[in-house]
Amino acid sequence: MRRVDTRKEQERTELHRSIWNIANDLRGSVDGWDFKQYVLGIMFYRYVSENIASYINKIQHEAGNINYDYARLSDEEAAITKDFLINTKGFFIKPSELFCNILKKANADDNLNVTLDTIFKNIENSAIDTASEHALKGLFDDLDVNSNKLGGTVAERNKRLVKLFNGIAEMKLSYKDNIIDAFGDAYEYLMGMYASGAGKSGGEFFTPQEVSELLTKITLTDKTSVNKVYDPACGSGSLLLKFAKILGKENVRNGFFGQEINISTYNLCRINMFLHDIEFDKFDIAHGDTLTNPIHWDDEPFEAIVSNPPYSIKWEGDKNPLLINDERFSCAGVLAPKSKADMAFIMHSLSWLATDGTAAIVCFPGIMYRGGAEQKIRKYLIDNNFVDCVIQLPDNLFYGTSIATCIMVLKKNKADNSTLFIDATKECVKVTNNNKLSQENIEYILKLFKNRKNVKSASKLVANSEIEAQDYNLSVSTYVKQEYTKKVIDIVELNKEIARIVQREDELRKEIDKIISEIKVGV
């Protein structure tokens, strides 16, 4: 096992190094945050090309046609497979338009940008009026091969595109030959790399992998499968896909669901699904405002909900008279403030949670203690025993913000009438400018969560009646008290240390005086 793990790390390290090199070599005048669209877009193009060719080749080889090679067929010969491939893979690519064949001609193609633009449109159009249209439509919209960002002239743009093609081609990304999830791993590395340098804009949609792992394991606890997983503010999809890694995608029985308001990030999320080898009929990512226009409202309730929604953003609130009667919010008798939508995401998630499900949501700390409408919503949650746990995380875990965030865990059929509070503010390691959850940190937090017991300075199980007495304050620090340790100063040892310092100071002065004397003699 250790040997395989070592090989995995070697492969991963080599892959990350090649990604770093291509990103820095080709970026040029393109801002890193914009350039990710080009790296990810061409990487996605390579993926769908290899995916569809490998799929049809395998079928033909198993049927005895061992010399069959889809990439070498004429477009006319391949046409007979079109309907089959669209029905099974969700899209169709002509052999002449596969990544490997375009790569061979790229350097000599003076109209490479036009060639690529046509190919991308053809891939998307192949899914029109089919079951996979929702998964493919607009996926290449952000990959503008005619943008001035790539160069001021067509020749300059094509020169950079050729370099990009060659760089992506050299990456060890074939999902057949790698022992790691190469395409998926490359995507996550790229997103993390760019998000770390993009400040707030990066942190708005990318949740660090270790935080994703903690949220996933909280919602699963001892489960080995779930009906489906949902994220109402899914960003690039990293939270959803953590379930595929931890459970295995086949154990998310009915698929991965999410909604994202930002069109570019929505496209990135769907690309992420494909790159992690999630078939088009196993994910349903919607575009739009979850709070005012939820797309999955008529679906079966979700056994697992995870989310890192945007902190304290504005929303319509009571400005929209329809929302107070919305069944997601009406039960609390009050709407989240127009200036702070945090509690609206909480109520939305609770509404769509299955009876035996768990939701784990990253929250801005203020919603745990602020008054007004947010306090009334907390009262509703506690009085109905929906809050299972509140976890205070360390600060500086997320890109773009240094605040110490919280996790609110929701359940609908708890075994006790209490709420667990966990102080995990010290559970982190320092990595460059950020804090990070190590595997040991994650396992310790999960141990506290599962044991549901009082641990000094770490966790406390609090009766909901006590929370009521605290005016429904859900701040962890209200219930988990940190032990104050008074440092005892040994006066004798302190005096000895002072004496040693004074003696050393005298020795240094003598050495300096000696050096100065020698210099004067020499002069």
Query: How do residues 187-203 score in pLDDT, each as one tens digit?
Result: 777 767 666 555 444 44
- Does one domain contain both 361 and 282? yes
Could you tell me what percent of the chain has a pLDDT over 90?
A: 60
Strand 459-463 and strand 283-287: pairing?
Answer: unpaired
Q: What are the residue ranges of helices labelled H in 28-65?
A: 32-62
Last residue of one domain, picked from the residues 171, 198, 225: 198
Q: Which residue, chain included where needed, has tokens 């499900």?
A: 357
Lowest mean pLDDT of 84-98, 433-447, 455-469, name the range: 433-447
Same domain, 442 and 463: yes
207 and 194 within one domain: no
Provide the number of structural domains found in the chain.
3
How many Cβ atoms are within 10 Å of 402's Cβ, its own excluded? Answer: 11
Confidence label for 440 from pLDDT (cuts 50, 70 and 90): very high
Rounded CA separation 173/161 (Å) = 19
* Integer angstrom CA distances of residue 297 from 258, 286, 352, 379: 11, 12, 8, 25
> Which residues span the domain enclosing 139?
2-198
Examine the domain organization and report whether 437 and 508 are in the same domain. no
Mean pLDDT value across residues 143-166: 87
Q: What is the pLDDT of residues 266-308, one digit of tens each?
A: 998 998 899 888 999 999 999 999 999 999 987 789 999 999 9
Q: Which residue has the higher pLDDT, 522 or 458?
A: 458
pLDDT of residue 111: 92
Cα angle, residue 268 at apex, residues 40 and 39 outer, rounded to 5°: 10
Pair 127, 233 in one domain? no
Same domain, 408 and 454: yes
Mean pLDDT of 212-227: 94
CB 95 within 8 A of CB 71: yes
Q: Are residues 191 and 219 in the same domain?
A: no
Is pLDDT at 1 greater than 50 in this prediction? no
Residue of higher predicted confidence among 501 and 95:
95
Query: For the purposes of burial, counting CB atoms within 10 Å of the CB of 395, is it exposed (0-12), middle (13-18) or buried (19 or more)?
Result: middle
Q: Residues 255, 161: one domain?
A: no
Which CATH number belongs to the domain containing residue 295 in this structure?
A: 3.40.50.150
Q: Which two tokens stand for residue 387?
A: 């809050």
Yes or no: say if 72 and 95 are a contact pair by the CB < 8 Å rule. yes
Choice between 124 and 188, residue whose per-residue pLDDT is larger: 124
Same domain, 205 and 343: yes
SS3 490: coil
> Quick check: 204 pLDDT over 50?
no
Residue 195 or residue 147, greater confidence = 147
DSSP class of residue 308 equals -
Residue where one domain finishes, among candidates 165, 198, 231: 198
- Assess whether 97 and 241 both reside in one domain: no
pLDDT in tens, 222-280: 899 999 999 999 988 989 999 999 999 999 999 999 999 999 889 989 988 998 889 99
Residue for token digits 């491939």? 85
Q: Write down the pLDDT at residue 101.
A: 96
The pair of structure tokens assigned to 373 is 């409408």
**Cβ 428 vs Cβ 440: under 8 Å:** no
Q: In which residue are the tokens 């250790």 written?
A: 2
Query: pLDDT higher for 318 or 487?
Result: 318
Q: Are 150 and 183 in contact (CB under 8 A)?
A: no
Among 168, 198, 228, give the residue marking a domain's end. Answer: 198
- pLDDT tier at 25, thresholds 50, 70, 90: low
Compute the radius of gyration of the chain from its Cα atoms: 28
One domain for residues 282 and 345: yes
Do the Cβ atoms of 195 and 206 come closer than 8 Å? yes
DSSP class of residue 130 equals S
266 and 190 fall within a common domain: no
